[in-house]
Amino acid sequence: MSSMNLALFVSDAGTHLGGWRHPRAAAPQPPDLAALRALALHAESACIDTLFIADKLALDDIHGGSFASTVETRAIGGHAEPLTALAALAGVTTRIGLAGTVSSSYSQPYTVARMLASLDHLSGGRAGWNVVTSVSDGEARNHGLAQHLEHGERYRRAAEFIEVVQALWDSWLPGWEIADKASGVYGDASRLRAIDHAGEFFRVKGPINLPRPPQGRPVLIQAGVSDDFRRVAAARAEVIFSVQPDEAKARDFYRSFKAEVAALGRSPEQVRILPGIVPVIGATEREARELDRELRALVLPRAGLSFMSASMNHDLGAYDPDSKVFDFTDRITGSKGRFEAVVRKAIAEGLTFAQLGKWYGESLSFLAPVGSADQVADVLARWYRERAADGFVVLPPFMPDGARDFLDKVVPELQARGVFRSAYAGSTLRETLGLTVPQAE
């Protein structure tokens, strides 16, 4: 059976910006290993491909030029740095993938190569890296710059960053280890090589100082929409997290992106396209609709506007909340592709800025199916069978019950439809995703 691929977006408060206020949501708390562990084991018992922990490098502080609206409207305390949290989870899980975000704009490739290789070793080959270029000036200001790198420049940097990291992972060739106690020869130095990289952004001599990761290269994930993103992702990414709320457009994106991958000489099967979903699940359709209404009523427009301002890198606090949205897309310097579509939709529907903030806070513009487990599973199975997706990133609206509803109710429905596995096929993330191990040439 071919299986769809499912990533569980692990967050402290859920994706729906009203989620943390719902009576079923756990009280937000500082990073907590017991809660993470319980969720990871639960997801592993459901055979989920991978956990995924996102990251930003600042408290959102673009809206109104301050972090105040973020702190005042959203649950912000419980987000651990992803690789630290995933390393802790490596010790309590055995099969599930451990994927996290590390920015290529504000890190150094040698450090990142070591951290991810370490996670891959310590987890027995389960590491995944969501390489992002970051979005806001707030993130730049925490790293010695006044402004975020320009869009094209940060993707050029990302491409070079990935190239260096992967070259470092490949810098130990098979057969390096001799470990001959009798002669005292430990390793064959000729099997390790400097990478001598000198590019636009980085100069790295190499080799790395630890053996090649069990997966060869930890799985490379990218999320985005823009043309700059597509150019880098088609050449290198193995998993794509996309934002595709519309089924026909998702099918078009699926087809055209896989064609771009093939045109570069790569196998389209070796790139898994996973749109994000925020499922709102009830025992019946009526209950799900009621839950959806409750969640929507809990979103404050300012919560959505502060999130969007940071993601766009443009201060929406500068506009009257009750005025109609107009075309300001040329001022977006953060996440471009996604927000051009969001602004177009707001204009077409005649929304005010406050209404836009509220609408965005309800789903972050992801596909948000509302229904019984049976109905939600039908949607996911159809998207998978009709090649609109290879699977999904599941972003529960609130935590942890939103995740439990999906794992306990929707996953069995997907298994019953024959579109999702009931046992892991192997032990590495590559095996689970059906990706080959790249050879070090």
Ligand X SMILES: Cc1cc2nc3c(=O)[nH]c(=O)nc-3n(C[C@H](O)[C@H](O)[C@H](O)COP(=O)(O)O)c2cc1C
CA 210 to chain centre: 26
Binds ligand X (CB under 6 A): choice among 229, 319, 353, 398: 229
Nearer to ligand X, 249 or 293 (CB): 249
13 touches ligand X (CB under 6 A) = no
Q: Is there a contact between 405 and 370 (Cβ–Cβ < 8 Å)? A: no
**Does 309 interact with ligand X (rule: CB under 6 A)?**
no
Q: Which of 419, 345, 338, 341 minimizes the C-alpha distance to 376? A: 419
Contact status: 104 vs ligand X (CB under 6 A): no
What is the nearest approach in angstroms of ligand X to the Cβ of residue 11? 10
CA–CA dist 435, 278 (Å, integer): 26
Q: Residue 298 carries which side chain, given as an amino acid letter?
A: L
Q: Which of 171, 335, 428, 432 binds ligand X (CB under 6 A)?
A: 335
Q: Are 363 and 245 in contact (CB under 8 A)?
A: yes
> Could you give the CA distance from residue 154 to residue 158 in angstroms, rounded to a whole number?
6
Smallest distance, ligand X to C-beta of residue 81, A? 11
Closer to ligand X at the Cβ: 64 or 337?
Answer: 337
> Are the C-beta atoms of 312 and 335 separated by less than 8 Å?
yes
138 binds ligand X, rule: CB under 6 A: no
* 355 lies in the binding site for ligand X (CB under 6 A): no
59 interacts with ligand X by CB under 6 A: no
Based on CB atoms, which residue is closest to ligand X, 82 or 282?
82
132 vs 234, beta carbon nearer ligand X:
132
**Which DSSP state fits 81?**
-
Q: What is the rounded CA–CA span in Å between residue 52 and residue 96?
A: 10
Tell the smallest beta-carbon distance from residue 273 to ligand X (Å).
11
Whole-number minimum distance, CB 134 to ligand X, in Å?
5
Pairing of strands 185-187, 177-180: antiparallel
Q: Do the beta carbons of residue 285 and residue 371 sit within 8 Å? A: yes
Strand partners for 103: 132
Between residue 374 and residue 413, which ones bind ligand X under the rule CB under 6 A? 393
In eight-state DSSP terms, residue 174 is: T
Tokens of 279: 């499922």
φ, ψ of residue 89 in degrees (nearest 5): -75, -25
Rounded least distance, CB 241 to ligand X, Å: 4
Q: Is 105 in the site for ligand X (CB under 6 A)?
A: no
**C-beta separation of 80 from 328 below 8 A:** no
Shortest CB 132 distance to ligand X, Å = 4
User: Of all helices (H) and strands (E), which one includes residue 5?
Assistant: strand 5-9
Helix (H, G, I), strand (E, B) or coil at 323: coil
- Tell me: does residue 80 bind ligand X (CB under 6 A): no
**Does residue 336 interact with ligand X by CB under 6 A?**
yes
Binding segment (CB under 6 A) for ligand X, from list 36-44, 225-233, 400-408, 416-424: 225-233
Q: How far is the CB of 151 from ligand X (least distance, A)?
A: 6
Closest CA to 392 of 405, 402, 379: 379
- Residues that bind ligand X (rule: CB under 6 A) add up to a total of 22
| Torsion angle of C-alpha atoms 234, 140, 366, 25, degrees rounded to 10 | 140
Does 337 help bind ligand X (rule: CB under 6 A)? Answer: yes
Separation between Cα atoms, residue 10 and residue 39, nearest integer Å: 8
Site track for ligand X across 262-301, x = CB under 6 A: --------------x-------------------------
| Position 56 contacts ligand X (CB under 6 A) | yes
Does 81 contact ligand X by CB under 6 A? no
Closest distance of CB 305 from ligand X, Å: 18
Position 117 contacts ligand X (CB under 6 A): no
Select the residue interacting with ligand X from 46, 140, 243, 381 (CB under 6 A).
243
Name the residues that contact ligand X, by CB under 6 A.
Answer: 54-56, 101, 130, 132, 134-135, 223-226, 228-229, 241, 243, 276, 335-338, 393
